[in-house]
Amino acid sequence: MATQSSRLAARLMVAPSVIVLLVWMAIPLAMAIYYSFRLYRLISPERTGWVGFRNYTWFINSPEFWMAISNTLLLVGGVLAITIVFGTLIALLIDQPIWGQGPLRILVISPFFVMPPVAASIWENLFMHPQNGMFASFAQGLGMKPILFMESYPMASVIFIVAWEWLPFATLILLTALQSLSSEQLEAAEMDGASAVSRFRYIILPHMTRAITVVILIQTIFLLGIFGEIFTTTQGGPGSASTTLPYMIFKQAIAAKDIGRAAAGGIIAVILANIVAYFLMRGIGRHLDA
Amino acid sequence: MARSLSPRRKMMMTLSAWTVALIIFFPVLWMILTSFKTEVSAVASPPQLFTADWTLDNYAEVWARSDYPRFFWNSVVISVGSTLLGLAIAIPAAWAMAFVPGKRTKDLLMWMLSTKMMPAVAVMIPIYLIFLRTGLIDTRIGLVIALMLMNLPIIIWMLYTYFKEIPAEILEASRMDGASLWGEIVYVLTPMALPGIASTCLLNIILAWNEAFWTIVLTTTKAAPLSAFIASFSAPQGLFYAKLSAASAMAIMPILILGWFSQKQLVRGLTFGAVK
Amino acid sequence: MGQITLNQVRKSFGEVDVIPGVDLDIKDGEFVVFVGPSGCGKSTLLRLIAGLEDTTSGTISIDGKDATALPPAKRGLAMVFQSYALYPHMSVKKNIGFPLKMAGMDPAEAEKRIQRAASVLNLTNYLDRKPGQLSGGQRQRVAIGRAIVREPAAFLFDEPLSNLDAALRVGMRQEISELHQSLKTTMIYVTHDQVEAMTMADKIVVLNAGRIEQVGSPLDLYHNPKNVFVAGFIGSPKMNLIEGPEAAKHGAHTIGARPEHITVGDGPWEGVVGLSEHLGSDSFIKVDVPGIGIINVRGSGELGVHHGDRVKLNPAGKIHRFDANGLALA
């Protein structure tokens, strides 16, 4: 489909993108690998040297590590599940011939435009705060004790906030997919005697597979690195109850000032992210139009 | 697949859809309302949707206490700059992938996207040190570069899906008409893909505007954008709800309004070509 | 000038030889039609001439100069695409003027040429419209206009009429033929429709699986097909091809008789009419002749036979004879 000269031109034109991304990845990664085998603490910068895999073994043997892994997976899985299920339901609702669909879409998409620190601080302060938050007021109004969201249910609170941020994305993509479904198909199914549930199961859901794929892929990319929301709200606590892998690395680097350990954690995170990426790309990448 | 409903059912559907939409939107609304309250009524229990003593004082005080115009301008420069720089690198790459696809094109795209999965924290220290040594730390150009690289895979992917919708025959026609590669891209491809390029631009401006990791790690004062401004604001706490809300509103309003006006094109672009 | 010579031109995509090796001479001013079933390589051959694809080996020369390695823009050829490939964001005028702009032509001269092309193609009133506001036929004319303003050495047409409806197609066919008569420029035209080939071409090139089966004038191909493929492809309805004992009687492996060369009445073949279509001007009947097979017959409009009738057929016209390899016997 092309000539040799255009193939050559194509290589030249892809090259800048590939090179800058490669550099952006490779150099910091190489430095991180180097530090991960070094003793490098900002508290005692005079003590340096090679420590072998000690930074790695510390990281993996730390009880916080497995907590962090499970919290990370919980965050990604929880947000994906909430946004896809509710996104589908809301998309089905909005797709009905209702009044004011335009303004309604504007309301629904709004959380997507709110930057993560603001989203987290609105929820933490205006809603979930145990004294002054709106939820606390309601609880008091009902004669109940206010829920200590960030203390008692830190992970659930973080998942809830992040899901709120990503719900518009899922909803609107799924809505776009729904709107591209021809009504003739549904009418044909109705003529064939399919109930509303089987119409959803056999016609609407298969039609939305690609859209769901996109939602999973894009959200996973962003969710794996979630940081700001935790930083603003729970700071990984109480204890390590809401510490994710990125946050654990951050704590090592900033709070413990142990660059070596943080780098080792970073490399572990990169390896895990690559494993996730591999399965994600293999599993659902083929659905994408590439 | 919109179908006709009886007026009664339509009314019910409308009501429930609007209820859901308002619940989703409510936190933003509540924040905006709170920003106009006095600190006392902001924490009133039971909460009041509207108060009699609404005021602009919170905005005035935030404005006076911080250098909002500088943060704002930094946000504009960084988000627009990183998007334009990204486009300049991404348009040729997306052209090549869409119109001269090879066996590896899809793998290449996937690899680019997978670079975004690398946790930013993992390379935080090295990148901080690189920026420190190259003098890019706390400069706008440094953030423009960093955020461009962050979003480049997304820009390329979006442009690629838009470009793929342009029939190859039209580009071949321009070649037959004597256009060079440059002419083909400037006179034919870019104008034809303009809606797609515009929505790519928008999404990336939004992503860059809302980026709150590198902007905080790599800036201190000079180049700090609004995401760093709000982080500094929420830090001292002190339960200044109204002022916090006002600062938050000031941080998100520009992009919220931009997003409202462009949500149609934006959603279409966000589907990454997988949904027509 | 527009003389094009293909010398052992070969094209392969990976392992697959799409064009195993083609020699062809196209004279200046000739209207040449590449015809063949879909996938026969006719479009690929055209794209090789255009320079949109590289040749794997062999040479293409245009007006005596080797053009094999030249990019499309440098070959001095113009092309009309199947989808018209108009620039949707440009007005008709800008579309037609685009090649002139790319050539860096003086705007006043370009304007003159655009106006001339527009008046030839009846587009003068549409110059400010966008392609999206035009009908299929008008878009086609814009595509042709974009080709003629450059005054190219040759025009290349890639199935240009296949997106038009039947009535429009006949009209455009005539317009292109008239254009050729007035411009006298070489035209290479690709189609899968043998009617287009027969009506427009000075010279038809019949392609099959990347090979040239036969080159000749339309009537030459009709009367003297070199092989079974050409015999079956040229002519509508298709030639009846008969194998077995009936062919052996004529000393051939296969014999062919065109439907219009068979008369109904008295004759050696007898069978039952299956389908009969009466169009007024012609009648088409299918007769199942035992031992021979289904025979298509084209008779006059007055032919009064119907489904179930028993008729006798006489292959009165020319009987084409082919050997076991499908080649025509003298």
Give pLDDT tens digits for A77-126: 999 999 999 999 999 888 888 888 888 988 998 999 999 889 988 898 88
CB contact under 8 A, A28 and B256: no
- Chain C's closest residue to A5, CA to CA, is C71
C143 and C264 fall within a common domain: no
Pairing mode of beta strands C57-62, C65-66: antiparallel
Which of the residue ranges B137-141, B222-226, C257-261 would you say has the lowest mean pLDDT? B222-226
Contacts with A181 from chain B: Cβ below 8 Å: 1
Which pLDDT does position A2 carry in this prediction? 62
Domain-embedded: residue C141:
yes
Which pLDDT does position B1 carry in this prediction? 46
The verdict on C70 touching A (C-beta cutoff 8 Å) is no
Domain-embedded: residue B229:
yes
Contacts with C103 from chain B: Cβ below 8 Å: 178
pLDDT of residue C61 exceeding 70, the answer is: yes
Q: What is the Cα–Cα distance from B111 to B56, expressed in whole angstroms? A: 49
Q: What is the Cα–Cα distance from A86 to C152, expressed in whole angstroms? A: 61
B50 and B156 fall within a common domain: no
pLDDT of residue A8 exceeding 70, the answer is: yes
Contacts with A2 from chain C: Cβ below 8 Å: 53
Interface probe, candidates A23, A33, A118, chain B, greatest B C-beta count within 10 A = A118
Q: What is the Cα–Cα distance from A72 to B119, expressed in whole angstroms? A: 12
- Neighbouring chains to B with at least 3 Cβ pairs closer than 8 Å: A, C
Interacting residues of C127 by C-beta distance below 8 A, sequence separation 6+: C91, C92, C93, C96, C114, C118
B39 and B125 fall within a common domain: no
Range of the domain at B88: 68-270
CB contact under 8 A, C81 and B172: yes
DSSP 8-state symbol, A145:
P
Interface probe, candidates C12, C47, C49, C53, chain A, greatest A C-beta count within 10 A = C53
CB burial string B48-59: b at 16+ within 10 A, e below: eeebeeebeebb
B55 and B176 fall within a common domain: no
Q: Kindly report the nearest CA distance between residue B166 and chain C, in angstroms.
A: 10
* Helix (H), strand (E) at residue C125: none
Q: Kindly report the nearest CA distance between residue B128 and chain C, in angstroms.
A: 46
CB contact under 8 A, B177 and C50: no
Task: Tell me the domain boundaries of chain A.
Answer: 55-287
**Sign of the dihedral through C-alpha B34, B40, B46, B52:** negative
Domain-embedded: residue B276:
no
Q: Kindly report the nearest CA distance between residue B100 and chain C, in angstroms.
A: 12
B244 and B141 fall within a common domain: yes
Interface probe, candidates B100, B154, B214, chain A, greatest A C-beta count within 10 A = B100
DSSP 8-state symbol, C327:
B
Range of the domain at C285: 242-322
Domain-embedded: residue B40:
yes
Domain-embedded: residue C329:
no
pLDDT of residue B275 exceeding 80, the answer is: no
Contacts with A7 from chain C: Cβ below 8 Å: none
CB nearest C81 (choices: B173, B191, B194)? B173
Q: What is the Cα–Cα distance from A257 to C26, expressed in whole angstroms? A: 79
Residue C118 maps to which CATH number?
3.40.50.300
Residue B135 maps to which CATH number?
1.10.3720.10
Domain-embedded: residue C281:
yes
CB nearest C98 (choices: B167, B172, B177)? B177
Which pLDDT does position B239 carry in this prediction? 54
| DSSP codes, B173-200 | HHHHTT--HHHIIIIIIHHHTHHHHHHH
pLDDT tier at C142, thresholds 50, 70, 90:
very high
The verdict on C52 touching A (C-beta cutoff 8 Å) is yes
Give pLDDT tens digits for B175-200: 888 888 888 888 999 899 888 898 88
Mean pLDDT of C243-254: 88
- Neighbouring chains to A with at least 3 Cβ pairs closer than 8 Å: B, C
**Sign of the dihedral through C-alpha A102, A107, A108, A110:** positive
Domain-embedded: residue C235:
no
B122 and B254 fall within a common domain: yes
Max Cα–Cα distance, chain A, nearest Å: 80
Mean pLDDT of C221-238: 91
C14 and C156 fall within a common domain: yes
pLDDT of residue B73 exceeding 80, the answer is: yes
Contacts with A5 from chain C: Cβ below 8 Å: 71
Nearest 5°: the CA angle A199, A202, A203 is 70
Domain-embedded: residue B1:
no
| Architecture of the CATH domain A55-287 | Orthogonal Bundle (1.10)
pTM of the entire predicted model: 0.83
Which of the listed residues C178, C198, C230 is the one where a domain comes to its end? C230
Which pLDDT does position B219 carry in this prediction? 85
C284 and C138 fall within a common domain: no
Residue found by looking up tokens 């009419």 in the block: C273
C32 and C93 fall within a common domain: yes
> What was the ipTM of the complex prediction?
0.86
C184 and C299 fall within a common domain: no
Domain-embedded: residue C237:
no
Nearest to B175 by CA among C147, C141, C52: C52
C219 and C264 fall within a common domain: no
Question: What's the token pair of residue A204?
Answer: 């609407």
C29 and C100 fall within a common domain: yes
Contacts with C53 from chain A: Cβ below 8 Å: 1-3
Mean pLDDT of B120-139: 87
Which pLDDT does position C266 carry in this prediction? 85
CB contact under 8 A, A122 and B120: no
Q: Kindly report the nearest CA distance between residue A63 and chain B, in angstroms.
A: 20
CB contact under 8 A, C79 and B176: yes
Which pLDDT does position A132 carry in this prediction? 79
C120 and C41 fall within a common domain: yes
Give pLDDT tens digits for B98-112: 888 888 888 888 888
Nearest to B273 by CA among A175, A287, A169, A216: A287
Q: Where in chain C does DSSP place strands (E)?
A: 4-13, 16-26, 31-35, 57-62, 65-66, 77-80, 154-158, 186-191, 203-208, 211-216, 240-243, 254-257, 262-278, 282-289, 293-300, 310-315, 320-322
Q: Kindly report the nearest CA distance between residue B167 and chain C, in angstroms.
A: 8
Which pLDDT does position A290 carry in this prediction? 46
Contacts of B178-181 with CB under 8 Å at 24 or more apart are: B178/C73, B178/C99, B178/C102, B178/C103, B178/C150, B179/C73, B179/C98, B179/C102, B180/C73, B180/C102, B181/A6, B181/A9
Give pLDDT tens digits for A26-60: 888 888 888 888 877 877 777 777 888 888 888 88
CB contact under 8 A, B31 and A232: no
- Chain C's closest residue to A4, CA to CA, is C54
Interface probe, candidates A6, A14, A275, chain B, greatest B C-beta count within 10 A = A14
Which of the listed residues C178, C195, C230 is the one where a domain comes to its end? C230
Interface probe, candidates A113, A165, A284, chain B, greatest B C-beta count within 10 A = A113
CB contact under 8 A, B230 and A249: no
Give pLDDT tens digits for C9-22: 999 888 888 888 89
What sections of A192-258 are H helices per DSSP? 196-199, 205-207, 209-223, 228-232, 245-250
Q: What is the Cα–Cα distance from C206 to C210, expressed in whole angstroms? A: 10
C284 and C310 fall within a common domain: yes
B 194-253 → C contacts, CB under 8 A: 194
CB contact under 8 A, A2 and B251: no
CB contact under 8 A, B175 and C78: no
SS3 B219: coil
Contacts with A157 from chain B: Cβ below 8 Å: none
C225 and C247 fall within a common domain: no
C204 and C161 fall within a common domain: yes
Burial level of A19, CB count in 10 A (0-12/13-18/19+)?
Answer: exposed
Contacts with A1 from chain C: Cβ below 8 Å: 53
Q: What is the Cα–Cα distance from A129 to A134, expressed in whole angstroms? A: 8
The verdict on B186 touching C (C-beta cutoff 8 Å) is no
CA atoms within 13 A on the CB side of A57: 4
Mean pLDDT of A183-210: 83
**Whether the Cβ atoms of residue A276 and residue A220 lie closer than 8 Å to each other:** yes
**Whether the Cβ atoms of residue C79 and residue C34 lie closer than 8 Å to each other:** no
Nearest to C86 by CA among C77, C78, C75, C94: C94
**Sign of the dihedral through C-alpha C106, C108, C112, C115:** positive
Which pLDDT does position C180 carry in this prediction? 93
pLDDT of residue A264 exceeding 80, the answer is: yes
- Neighbouring chains to C with at least 3 Cβ pairs closer than 8 Å: A, B
Burial level of C97, CB count in 10 A (0-12/13-18/19+)?
Answer: buried
**Whether the Cβ atoms of residue C96 and residue C149 lie closer than 8 Å to each other:** yes
pLDDT of residue C78 exceeding 70, the answer is: yes
Contacts with C54 from chain A: Cβ below 8 Å: 3-4
| DSSP codes, A94-109 | HTSS-TTHHHHHHHHH
C40 and C176 fall within a common domain: yes
Question: What's the token pair of residue B141?
Answer: 């150009």
Query: For chain B, what is the domain count?
Result: 2
Nearest 5°: the CA angle A266, A270, A273 is 135
